[in-house]
């Protein structure tokens, strides 16, 4: 359930008409609902209520806006981060360093040092050399870094190839059959407190079976490591739970996911971490846009909106579906293509889709844009960087400014040998 609903024929975010935001902030603009973020955070936690020693780290890559991070920190979530920039954001958003887990296949030594100096809660190691470097950096500072080994369980997550991470050929994790030997070698590092295992097999998973298969493999690995005398106290099961994008989509609920996780991990006797991103953020945000033109097409008309692939890149990158709705629907429907102004054929949000009838100047939304939306935006075609708004009841605030092409240009320089 989210808080973007029609009231008397007009689309609201909580108690704010979207048209008011468009008037005051302009379009395109991302609009987030604070209540929806908070509700999703609670529903996900509730789904996992049967898991003792539960830790939740919001995967901030999904939506790292500082206001969002504050809502998640207030809901008791830590943060899963994948760069020094995300680490700084998580702390600026109010997440305590101890609640931060640092994932990512390419953490630089500088980023490892930043994490050590900030005292973050856990490093998820991706290769043996990273463990050696982290151990040495920690030991040199008189520290022991909490770390777990990220394992690649070789499971097909059944999702889009570009967001699948747990197949043997993917770049993530260490092959599961090498995990016991590598764990033994790294456990001896004096600068490391190597205490467990992490996995993350992919994103937008709409079937629990691959997750269950991966978790089961991790359970066996934990037993093997313990048989070798290792103290395994922490397991991080990553994120990945899918969300409904299309009307009628029915992915597993947090309750169904939690029941499976509780059943499979029963008896593991570890602190268990999850890193949800999309399931928290996706349906807590929409991209509000204005129709510029309705251009007659050869087969169907093209609805040209003022949002483009630089603002919401998922359709161009993954052929992703984002539901399109008029802010003031007339009840009439039409079949159309929806595209942005960017000069690429890939800047197309939908082809031959049945949508509300819209005309030049009308407002519309793309739903489910709260995750992997604004954070993946760019300024391609010298478009502004899209702003973000958060609604709370009957009030709203701009939580990220529109960055104009002029501001971007101001960071560019002519070398003196061109200036003359």
* Residue 260: exposure state from Cβ atoms within 10 A (0-12, 13-18, ≥19): middle
Residue 43, CA distances (Å) to 38, 267, 409 in order? 9, 24, 43
Q: Is the dihedral of CA 108, 109, 115, 118 positive or negative?
A: negative
- In 3D space, the residue among 72, 50, 75 whose CA is nearest the CA of residue 61 turns out to be 72
Residue 239 near ligand LLP by CB under 6 A = yes
Largest pairwise CA distance in the chain = 73
Q: Which stretch binds ligand LLP (CB under 6 A): 9-17, 125-133, 232-240, 331-339?
A: 232-240
> Is 278 part of any known ligand binding site?
yes
Instruction: Verify whether residue 303 is a known catalytic residue.
Output: no
Rounded to a whole number of angstroms, the CA Rg of the chain reads 23
Residue 80 near ligand LLP by CB under 6 A = yes
Site for ligand LLP in 346-405 (CB under 6 A): 372
Residue 40, CA distances (Å) to 35, 53, 77, 285 in order? 9, 20, 12, 12
Residue 240 near ligand LLP by CB under 6 A = yes
List the catalytic residue out of 227, 298, 343, 419: 343
Q: Which helix (H) or strand (E) holds 70?
A: helix 66-74
Looking at residue 6, what DSSP letter applies?
E
Binding to ligand LLP by CB under 6 A, coded x per residue (else -) over 36-75, reads: -----------------------x-xx-------------
For residue 393, the minimal CB distance to ligand LLP (Å) is 27
Q: Which stretch binds ligand LLP (CB under 6 A): 227-235, 270-278, 328-336, 347-355?
A: 270-278
Residue 103 near ligand LLP by CB under 6 A = yes
The two structure tokens encoding residue 225: 């490591």
> Is 329 part of any known ligand binding site?
no
Position among 277, 285, 329, 370 found at the interface with ligand LLP (CB under 6 A):
277
> Is 30 part of any known ligand binding site?
no
- In 3D space, the residue among 261, 277, 235 whose CA is nearest the CA of residue 80 turns out to be 277
Annotated binding site for substrate: 278, 314, 318, 344, 372
Annotated binding site: 240, 275-278, 314, 318, 344, 372
Q: Give residues in contact with ligand LLP (CB under 6 A).
A: 59, 61-62, 80, 103, 163, 200, 203-204, 238-241, 275-279, 314, 318, 372
């Amino acid at each position: 359930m989210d808080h973007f609903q029609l009231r008397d024929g007009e689309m609201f975010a909580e108690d704010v008409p979207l048209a008011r935001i468009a008037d005051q902030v302009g379009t395109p603009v991302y609009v987030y609902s604070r209540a929806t973020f908070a509700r999703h955070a609670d529903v996900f936690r509730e789904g996992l209520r049967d898991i003792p020693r539960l830790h939740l780290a919001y995967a901030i890559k999904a939506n790292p806006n500082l206001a969002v991070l504050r809502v998640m920190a207030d809901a008791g979530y830590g943060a899963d981060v994948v760069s020094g920039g995300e680490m700084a954001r998580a702390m600026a958003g109010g997440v305590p360093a101890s609640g931060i887990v640092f994932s990512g296949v390419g953490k630089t030594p500088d980023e490892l040092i930043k994490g050590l100096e900030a005292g973050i809660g856990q490093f998820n190691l991706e290769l043996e050399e990273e463990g050696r470097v982290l151990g040495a950096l920690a030991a040199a500072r008189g520290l022991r870094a909490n770390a777990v080994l990220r394992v690649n369980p070789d499971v097909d997550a059944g999702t889009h190839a570009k967001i699948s991470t747990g197949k043997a050929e993917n770049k993530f994790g260490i092959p599961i059959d090498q995990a016991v030997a590598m764990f033994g070698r790294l456990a001896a590092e004096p600068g490391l407190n190597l205490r467990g295992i992490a996995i993350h097999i992919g994103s937008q998973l709409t079937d629990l079976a691959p997750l269950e298969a991966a978790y089961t493999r991790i359970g066996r690995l934990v037993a093997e490591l313990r048989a070798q005398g290792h103290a395994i106290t922490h397991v991080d099961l990553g994120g990945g739970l899918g969300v409904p994008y299309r009307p009628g989509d029915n992915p597993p609920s947090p309750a169904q996911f939690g029941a499976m996780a509780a059943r499979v991990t029963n008896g593991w006797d570890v602190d268990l971490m999850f890193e949800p991103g999309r399931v928290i953020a996706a349906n807590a945000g929409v991209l509000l846009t204005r129709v510029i033109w309705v251009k007659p097409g050869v087969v169907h008309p093209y609805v040209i909106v003022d949002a483009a692939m630089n603002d919401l890149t998922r359709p161009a990158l993954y052929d992703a579906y984002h539901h399109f709705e008029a802010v003031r629907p007339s009840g009439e429907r039409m079949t159309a293509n929806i595209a942005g102004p960017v000069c690429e054929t890939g800047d197309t949000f939908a082809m031959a889709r049945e949508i509300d009838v819209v005309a030049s100047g009308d407002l519309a939304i793309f739903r489910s844009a709260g995750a992997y939306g604004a954070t993946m935006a760019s300024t391609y075609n010298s478009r502004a960087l899209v702003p973000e708004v958060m609604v709370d009841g009957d009030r709203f605030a701009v939580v990220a400014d529109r960055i104009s092409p002029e501001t971007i240009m101001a960071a560019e320089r002519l070398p003196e040998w061109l200036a003359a």
